[in-house]
Structure 1
Amino acid sequence: MKLWQKVILGMIFGLITGYFIKQQELLGNTFIISLGILDKLQIVGSMYTSMLKMIVIPIIFFSILYGITSVEDISSFGRLGSRALILYTISTVFAVCLGIGFGILFEPGVGVHLPSLIGESVKKIEHQTLTNIIVNIIPSNPVQAMANGNTLQVVVFAFFFGVSLVMIGEKGYVARNTISSCAHAVFKMVELVIKITPYGVFAIMSHIVSEYGFKVIFSLGKFVLIVLVAMLVQYIAFWVMFLFFRIDPRPFFRKIIPTQALAFATSSSKATLSTALSEMQKKMGVSKKVSSFVLPLGASTNMSATAIYLGITTVFFSQISGVDLNYSQYGVIIFASTIGSIGAAGFPGGGIVMIGMVLSSVNLPLDGIPLIMGVDRILDMVRTTINITGDCAITLIVDKIEGSLDYKKYNEKIL
């Protein structure tokens, strides 16, 4: 049985178990109460949540370092890379803002307060100005930043460290190899934590339903619907991008369907990459030079749908935590989600882990993350489809800007 199937089963059995415990307690079944099942489930759920917290800082630090040090030479990006990165960044920032906007507008977490899940002692958020946030983003002590879980400071330090290693060339060879080994070890840690997700989801859903009933599930359904609608808007935005650059979008969206189907089935941009490259070159007339550079770059850095997910999820958790965020903190969420969506591209289950990074950036508790694990699989399939569509769309636009797009092949009808 596949992991995502186990997670869904864990969620279903958790709902049933929670409902059963709730009914038995209402009936005054002293035997069930004496077993202390609810307390034991809470312990299992807390242990799983602690494991998620444990890997947040290491995965942020090493995934960013690994991504930067994988570049052999900063200057190799040149004109082509800079154009691609600008478009990818604009697309990602728009996606985060879209996610935050949908979360604020439709309020998926309003009316659902879970004190036992997130803790009554939620850290009071200090409403800092944007200037203070920007100044404090640079760590005076990187080790202390890691110990305190200051994710934005860790991101900044990892970025400077990674760029410095690339700039010293061969002198940083040993360190870069060590970083690669550490990154893969941390990726394996994430994989191991993700493998026990079905049990964590079971324990947490049982506890939530037994204490709060099914109103939480209705809120979760609303959350899923909002995420899907926001991703649909992002999909439409790609169409608008084509029109802005004076490209007929219809051939692209007809020919991208096989790639989208594979992305939906595999939930992996990397697994879809070879098919996407072939389709772009053979059916859409994108030059080999541009597609071979820009598309893999996008698969590693451009996760617009993941950015939407991070934005909505952060607003969702702020609402169920009863915390009001100010404009400065929304700015932090945009920055952290943009970085997080890039970091999430490097390893399986990255979207879930990077939620921890974004929540930490505005001091929101991570305890509610398992709540969305049961619905993450279907959202992951949609996210991957939108992500690879965005990668291909921007690759084609860059090729058009470069003047190397084969319009005859692009407009050619497929049988």
Structure 2
Amino acid sequence: MATPELQSTVEASETGEFESVSCGKKFRKGLKDNLFTILTLIGVAGGFGIGFGVGTLNPTQEAITWIRMPGTIFIRLLQLTVLPVIAANIIVVMARMDLKENGKMGLATIGFVLGFDLLSGVVGVTIAALIKPGLSTTLRVNKTETLGKNDAPVTTSDVFSDLFLNIFADNIIGLAIYQTKTIRVWTYFPITNVTEAVQTRLESTDMIGLIFTSIAFGIASGAAKEHGKVFVDFFDSLGDVVLILMRWFLLATPVGVCFMVAGSVVDLKDIAGTFQGLGLFMGSVLLALAIHMLLQMTVYMLASFRNPFRLMFMGFKVFFLSFITTAPVVAIPEMLETCDRYGIDKKVSRFAVPFSVALKGDGSGVFQAVACVFIAQQTGYNITIGTYVIITLLVGFATLAIPNIPSAAIVIIITILSSIGVSTAEVSLLFAVEWIMDRCRSGSMGVGHLFTVAFAQAVAVGRPRKNGAPSGEIFADSSARYSDDFITLSK
């Protein structure tokens, strides 16, 4: 018969073995659930290693093109699925929505998007006016450099005319192919030279027109009752199929982001000097983005009486995908699933997510506002209160007018500076840090879209249902789906 001391020793040993096995299982489960995220982080680190390593060899432009190729293909595959996902979800939601009952949800979404698009200019201008980053930089541009040979800066009137022409598109197929854009070219006369406005077609999806057209078709199909049921069912099925396809493409994220990062840094020159000369400008942008995010969190907290940090933590995957790819739109599947886990009504998320992604560009607005004040300060322009007000208003409205396309932020900055009479030659300084600033504002906008949806839910429906994952399981649940797909494909 075992003594009490021996029995207690055996029990302690068994308990220790059980705890050891339990910890081992938890570790393996955590590793399995977060495999996708871990591989993506490895891809980011590998991208920096490849980019800086190859950059020391002075590669040719042809070599750089092929280094960027896998990342370019990855983004193209994701962009392939964006248009049908947005159109299908908006059409289905609008068709099945009771406008009298759910009108508050639409107004809340639109109000949040417009409000923070306009507020982005206020935040950016205020931070830049207080910190004055343009007075500290030592970098200068060769005045013989130009941003274009024969192109003249467009006017504010041109920007807003493009906005209305793109909203009311004249070709459904053309929505997916091009958008209207006004350019100004010099016309030379013997005595004087003038600029002439010319309407052109920019090869890019007309996202604003797509939203308007999808809403119109959705309302019309809902009004058609039974006759529109087949139409709505088709787009419902299309949305589900394309989301599955997008998730498959997202499995290539570790490889895609590796070469995207490598392509971004491979041809960078004098990084230390650039960061030293533009460090205060970059810090001003990051501070403005942080304050803007805190304002969104505060508004949501006041509307819902819930802790906004929980939603931010759940949105880490959305931030990460948006940051790495510089395109919040490719994180739409993750946004939708994050909203589902948070307990947001699917009718709200399926409308508000595509709407916000297409029209909410407040992160870019913050960057543009800081950049405009920075350039004006750097060139010695006499800035008055009126100048700050004009920049604030133009940034807010132009953020809606010009969609989120590559270098669109630079186009807006040039337009605004031209409107207030500031030289645009110094704008080329911004290209040195555009690669990292673009990622920062994209990540911020990705999380901001989640707060748009959560705010619409709080105003229209009430507090989200408490059916989300426990706080300790949020991050694991976010990437477990992709990790399981990785493991399945590897067998």
Whether the TM-score (by the shorter chain) exceeds 0.5 is yes
Match of 1:365 in 2: 423
In structure 2, C-alpha distance between the alignment counterparts of 1:113 and 1:322, rounded to whole Å:
13
Contact in 1 for aligned 2:117/2:400 (Cα 8 Å)? no
Residues 111 and 275 of structure 1: CA distance in aligned 2, closer, same or farther (over 3 Å): closer
Residues 248 and 331 of structure 1: CA distance in aligned 2, closer, same or farther (over 3 Å): same
Contact in 2 for aligned 1:286/1:404 (Cα 8 Å)? no
How far does the alpha carbon of each residue in 1:330-350 deviate from its partner, in whole angstroms, 9 at most, with x for none? 222122212333355432232
Match of 1:110 in 2: 135
Q: Work out whether 1:158 is the aligned partner of 2:157.
A: no
How far does the alpha carbon of each residue in 1:167-218 deviate from its partner, in whole angstroms, 9 at most, with x for none? xxxxx44896698365695247xxxxxxx9999987xx89xx9xxxx6x763
Equivalent of residue 312 in structure 2, options 245, 248, 253: 253
Match of 1:180 in 2: 178
Q: By percentage of residues, which structure has more helix? A: 1
How far does the alpha carbon of each residue in 1:255-306 deviate from its partner, in whole angstroms, 9 at most, with x for none? 111221222221111111111111111x111111111111111111112221
Q: Work out whether 1:235 is the aligned partner of 2:293.
A: yes
In structure 1, C-alpha distance between the alignment counterparts of 2:363 and 2:118, rounded to whole Å:
11
Match of 1:44 in 2: none
Residues 330 and 176 of structure 1: CA distance in aligned 2, closer, same or farther (over 3 Å): farther
In structure 2, the gaps of 5 or more residues are 1-43, 59-85, 146-150, 182-199, 205-262, 474-491
TM-score by length of 2: 0.53
Match of 2:346 in 1: 288
Residues 107 and 187 of structure 1: CA distance in aligned 2, closer, same or farther (over 3 Å): farther
In structure 2, C-alpha distance between the alignment counterparts of 1:149 and 1:311, rounded to whole Å:
18
Q: Work out whether 1:316 is the aligned partner of 2:374.
A: yes
Residues 299 and 199 of structure 1: CA distance in aligned 2, closer, same or farther (over 3 Å): same
Q: Work out whether 1:391 is the aligned partner of 2:416.
A: no
How far does the alpha carbon of each residue in 1:292-336 deviate from its partner, in whole angstroms, 9 at most, with x for none? 111111111112221110011001100111102222332221222
Task: Find the residue that maps to 1:346 and give its secondary structure.
Answer: coil
The Cα of 1:82 is off from its aligned counterpart by 2.8
Equivalent of residue 126 in structure 2, options 90, 93, 101: 101
Trace 1:118-157 onto structure 2 (pairs within 5 A).
Answer: 149-157=153-161
In structure 1, the gaps of 5 or more residues are 17-66, 121-146, 167-171, 189-195
Q: Give the aligned CA root-mean-square deviation in angstroms.
A: 4.2
Equivalent of residue 350 in structure 1, options 408, 412, 430: 408
Residues 398 and 178 of structure 1: CA distance in aligned 2, closer, same or farther (over 3 Å): closer
How far does the alpha carbon of each residue in 1:346-404 deviate from its partner, in whole angstroms, 9 at most, with x for none? 32232233322222232222222221212111111111111011111011110111116
Q: In structure 2, give the amino acid aligned to 1:83.
A: A
Task: Find the residue that maps to 2:335 and give its secondary structure.
Answer: helix
Q: Work out whether 1:85 is the aligned partner of 2:110.
A: yes
In structure 1, C-alpha distance between the alignment counterparts of 2:346 and 2:387, rounded to whole Å:
42
Match of 2:330 in 1: 271
Q: In structure 2, give the amino acid aligned to 1:264.
A: F
TM-score by length of 1: 0.62
Task: Find the residue that maps to 1:323 and give its secondary structure.
Answer: coil
In structure 1, C-alpha distance between the alignment counterparts of 2:442 and 2:282, rounded to whole Å:
15
Equivalenced residue count is: 308
The Cα of 1:89 is off from its aligned counterpart by 1.8
Residues 381 and 148 of structure 1: CA distance in aligned 2, closer, same or farther (over 3 Å): closer
Give 1 or 2 for the bigger CA radius of gyration: 2
In structure 1, C-alpha distance between the alignment counterparts of 2:453 and 2:365, rounded to whole Å:
19
In structure 2, C-alpha distance between the alignment counterparts of 1:258 and 1:199, rounded to whole Å:
26
Match of 1:37 in 2: none
Match of 2:197 in 1: none
Task: Find the residue that maps to 2:421 and give its secondary structure.
Answer: coil
Q: In structure 2, give the amino acid aligned to 1:155.
A: V
Residues 372 and 244 of structure 1: CA distance in aligned 2, closer, same or farther (over 3 Å): same
In structure 1, C-alpha distance between the alignment counterparts of 2:165 and 2:321, rounded to whole Å:
37
Residues 408 and 360 of structure 1: CA distance in aligned 2, closer, same or farther (over 3 Å): same
Residues 318 and 306 of structure 1: CA distance in aligned 2, closer, same or farther (over 3 Å): same
Q: Percent identity?
A: 17
Contact in 2 for aligned 1:107/1:319 (Cα 8 Å)? yes
Match of 1:33 in 2: none
Residues 300 and 175 of structure 1: CA distance in aligned 2, closer, same or farther (over 3 Å): closer
